[in-house]
């Protein structure tokens, strides 16, 4: 197999990203002579950087704030990237840039391996309506017997998201989203900085609800810590981040990465 010419993460800014640490651990473990580098790319330069990377036969990931804009840079999109309208993984095939989305599979797999999927039928409350919430809605769409309720402080964004996915509706209030939901997902950045404001007061969640926070922090986000203190099963977004990265590695190299080495690199 021919290795990519270069392996990069495109973001702005990207200095705080954990991805280089665990991707480089996976590359070392596989014995590939490549380094995964974070590239800080201003939005205005994204298209020209994408053209340069195509010429270099690069592969890599795309993160905030470029996931949606990168769709237009790709010649070919996987069905899931087209459906979600966002790319987080790319590579070059026959000289053309291919875009895919492993956030959907990463979220799906992380929920199953941490808090577990509730028994069908069940409702999922999604707080936030940005790019990450779209990946969540796409995963929920695949789950047997699951429906999604989207709440966002900007109601129009929740409505647009709901229009895009099956069995998904926008709701007007946070309580309406959360009451009776078996899984509550934080898809806002609240908690990322360690601030104490919770995306949802833990007391609002049903006693048997599971909580999944897309934000991540060492030791868990404040919301995850508070949900666990209430006796709920809860996970932060680190398992999802690792799994979307592992799935990206599988796309680039057609083989599974050393997941244990990836986990150790960020523990």
Both tokens of 157, joined, read 């964004």
- Residue with the two structure tokens 């006693």: 207
Residues 210-239, one symbol each (x = binds ligand NAP by CB under 6 A, - = not), give ----xxx--------------------x--
Q: How far is the CB of 150 from ligand NAP (least distance, A)?
A: 9
Q: Kindly provide the b/e burial profile for residues 4-21, where b requires at least 16 CB atoms within 10 angstroms of the residue's own CB.
A: bebbbbbbeebeebebbe
Q: Which of 20, 85, 159, 189 binds ligand NAP (CB under 6 A)?
A: 189
Q: How far is the CB of 161 from ligand NAP (least distance, A)?
A: 9
Residues 47-76, one symbol each (x = binds ligand NAP by CB under 6 A, - = not), give -----------------x------------
- The question of whether 67 is a catalytic residue gets the answer yes
CA distances from 67 to 4, 51, 210, 239 (A): 21, 16, 28, 20
Q: Categorise residue 17: left if φ over 0, alpha if ψ from -120 to 50, beta otherwise.
A: beta
Q: Which of 67, 134, 149, 217 is catalytic?
A: 67
Q: Residue 92 or 246: which CB sits closer to ligand NAP? A: 246
Distance CA 96, CA 228 (A): 46
Which residues in this chain contact ligand NAP in the complex, by CB under 6 A? 64, 103, 106, 128-133, 152-154, 157, 187-190, 192, 214-216, 237, 240-241, 244
Please give the positions annotated as active site.
67
């Amino acid at each position: 197999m021919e290795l990519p010419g270069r392996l990069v993460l495109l973001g702005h800014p990207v200095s705080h990203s954990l991805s280089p640490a665990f991707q480089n651990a996976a590359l070392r473990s596989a014995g590939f002579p490549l380094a995964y580098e974070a590239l800080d790319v201003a939005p205005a330069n994204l298209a020209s950087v994408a053209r340069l990377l195509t010429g270099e036969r690069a592969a890599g990931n795309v993160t905030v704030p470029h996931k949606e804009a990168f769709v237009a840079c790709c010649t070919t999109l996987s069905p899931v990237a087209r459906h979600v309208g966002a790319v987080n993984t790319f590579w070059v095939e026959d000289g053309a840039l291919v875009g895919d989305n492993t956030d959907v599979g990463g979220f799906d797999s992380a929920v199953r391996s941490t808090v577990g999927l509730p028994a069908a039928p069940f409702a999922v409350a999604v707080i936030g309506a940005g790019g990450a919430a779209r990946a969540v809605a796409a995963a929920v769409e695949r789950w047997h017997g699951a429906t999604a309720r989207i709440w966002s402080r900007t109601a129009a964004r929740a409505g647009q998201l709901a229009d895009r996915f099956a069995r998904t509706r926008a709701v007007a209030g946070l309580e309406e989203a959360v009451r009776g939901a078996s899984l509550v997902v934080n898809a806002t950045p609240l908690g990322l900085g360690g601030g104490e404001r919770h995306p949802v007061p833990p007391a609002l969640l049903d006693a048997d609800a599971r909580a999944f926070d897309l934000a991540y922090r060492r030791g868990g986000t404040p919301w995850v810590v508070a949900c666990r203190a209430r006796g709920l099963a809860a996970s932060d977004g680190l398992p999802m981040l690792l799994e979307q990265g592992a799935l990206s590695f599988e796309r680039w190299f057609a083989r599974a990465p050393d997941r244990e080495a990836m986990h150790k690199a960020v523990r």
